[in-house]
Amino acid sequence: MSGHVPVMLNEVLEMLQPRDGAHYIDGTFGGGGYTRAILEAADCRVLGIDRDPAAIARGQDLVQHFGGRLTLVEGEFSRMDEYTNATDGVVLDLGVSSFQFDQPERGFSFREDGPLDMRMSLSGMSAADFVNTAEERELARVIAQFGEEKNARRIARAIIKARPVTGTAQLAAIVSDAQGAAALRHAIHPATRTFQALRIHVNDELGELTRGLEAAQSLLRPEGRLVVVSFHSLEDRIVKQFLTGRSDAAPRASRHAPAVVAARPVFHLLTPKARVPGDAELSNNVRARSAKLRAGVKLAA
């Protein structure tokens, strides 16, 4: 599992509080960093889920090491309620794993040239399929919505003019040229937001997250804990609204307002404000710089 550094590991364990005899779900198994730490922290069991078959293959060493305490399933974490009946905790580490990002052939990064793929599951529509068939309006919508890119129309127009687009370096150059010289002075690469947008779209990451949070709520036992680490504002907003809106901290109807039936709280917030990595972690792991952690504990019915 070398090369994989789990983000905010100490904070995740602090929020999850693994205990003997309990059952946990690592919904984004990736390099297995969270799973290993949970299993080492307590005599418990973990169900690890990942839609990337390469992650499941890498994880077989951990399965052998921990024996029957670890079960791995290749699939989407939004379907976790199909793989088990109940759990004492769910942890989700969103976005791209280090292994996916560091392999040029997966097409997630423009640091090295590779095929324009970006599929976490290695199946379905690739990023190349989308950029080479989408209409300008749809391409611009995806880049603007999922990349929060203000120059989305200009970028979409440039991509369509250059089609076919098949490689990561080619796409990065097209986007950089479309952004103009001013974009080169910014701290992040001009193509970063476009790559993020295409990856989110191809993998339906926000839909997966929304469905996964619902599945986690249904599976958690009373006092069960949900811990989510996100890496951009779109993810964090969904997690924040989900937990806050269903928590005992959510605003209740005013006595001056029309009568409504208030929903019963489901969670108690463990993080009234998002936790962020400490200085020591940021100095050792640059990929942690945008991480935010939110967590809640499920209330008794």
- Contact at 8 Å (CB) between 39 and 248? no
Instruction: Please compute the mean of the pLDDT values over residues 189-195 and round it to a whole number.
Output: 94
How confident is residue 37, by pLDDT bands cut at 50, 70 and 90?
A: very high
Whether 255 has a pLDDT exceeding 70, the answer reads: no
* Pairwise pLDDT comparison (189 vs 66), residue with the higher score: 66
Residues 93 and 215 in one domain: yes
Is residue 1 in a domain?
no
Sign of CA dihedral 63, 66, 67, 68: negative
Least confident of 106-115, 126-135, 255-264, 278-287: 255-264
Cβ atoms within 10 Å, residue 67: 7
pLDDT, residue 251, reads 61
DSSP state of 186: S
Of 20, 18, 16, nearest in space to 91 by CA: 16
Whole-number Å distance between alpha carbons of 164 and 277? 41
What CATH number is attached to the domain comprising 195?
A: 1.10.150.170
How confident is residue 102, by pLDDT bands cut at 50, 70 and 90?
A: confident
Is residue 137 in a domain?
yes
- Contact at 8 Å (CB) between 40 and 63? no
Residues 76 and 118 in one domain: no
Is residue 67 in a domain?
yes
Residues 225 and 257 in one domain: yes
Residues 148 and 188 in one domain: yes
Instruction: Please compute the mean of the pLDDT values over residues 185-206 and round it to a whole number.
Output: 91
Residues 89 and 215 in one domain: yes
Whether 1 has a pLDDT exceeding 60, the answer reads: no
Residues 190 and 59 in one domain: no
Q: Using the 3D structure, point to which of 168, 203, 238 is the last residue of a domain.
A: 203
Give the containing element (helix H, strand E) for 24: strand 23-26
The range of the structural domain enclosing residue 37 comes to 9-99+205-298
pLDDT, residue 97, reads 73
pLDDT, residue 184, reads 61
Residues 222 and 282 in one domain: yes
* Pairwise pLDDT comparison (243 vs 186), residue with the higher score: 243
pLDDT, residue 260, reads 42
Q: What are the respective helix, strand and coil percentages of the chain, to the nearest 5?
A: 50, 15, 35
Whether 99 has a pLDDT exceeding 80, the answer reads: no
- Residue 141 token pair: 């919508």
DSSP state of 275: B
What are residue 104's phi and psi, to 5 degrees? -55, -30
CA atoms within 13 A on the CB side of 51: 20
pLDDT, residue 218, reads 97
Q: Using the 3D structure, point to which of 203, 225, 241 is the last residue of a domain.
A: 203
Instruction: Please compute the mean of the pLDDT values over residues 64-92 and round it to a whole number.
Output: 97
Instruction: Please compute the mean of the pLDDT values over residues 106-124 and round it to a whole number.
Output: 89
CA–CA distance from 91 to each of 85, 177, 224, 253 (Å)?
16, 40, 11, 31
Is residue 151 in a domain?
yes
Whole-number Å distance between alpha carbons of 139 and 156? 6
What CATH number is attached to the domain comprising 254?
A: 3.40.50.150
Instruction: Please compute the mean of the pLDDT values over residues 37-52 and round it to a whole number.
Output: 97
Residues 209 and 199 in one domain: no
Task: Give me the number of domains the chain comprises.
Answer: 2
For the chain, what percent of residues have pLDDT higher than 90? 80
Q: Using the 3D structure, point to which of 157, 181, 203 is the last residue of a domain.
A: 203
* Pairwise pLDDT comparison (99 vs 40), residue with the higher score: 40
Whole-number Å distance between alpha carbons of 107 and 114? 5
pLDDT, residue 96, reads 78
Cβ-proximal residues to 203 (8 Å cutoff; 6+ apart), any chain: 118, 119, 120, 121
* Pairwise pLDDT comparison (83 vs 252), residue with the higher score: 83
- Contact at 8 Å (CB) between 96 and 65? no
Instruction: Please compute the mean of the pLDDT values over residues 262-268 and round it to a whole number.
Output: 85
Instruction: Please compute the mean of the pLDDT values over residues 61-73 and round it to a whole number.
Output: 96
Residues 43 and 190 in one domain: no
Whether 252 has a pLDDT exceeding 80, the answer reads: no
How confident is residue 287, by pLDDT bands cut at 50, 70 and 90?
A: confident
Is residue 4 in a domain?
no
Whether 176 has a pLDDT exceeding 70, the answer reads: yes
Identify the three-state secondary structure at position 141. Answer: helix
Whether 292 has a pLDDT exceeding 50, the answer reads: yes
Residues 214 and 71 in one domain: yes
Residues 281 and 217 in one domain: yes
Entry pTM: 0.92
Residues 121 and 258 in one domain: no
Is residue 231 in a domain?
yes
Is residue 192 in a domain?
yes
* Phi-psi domain of 118 (left: phi exceeds 0; alpha: psi -120 through 50; beta: other): left
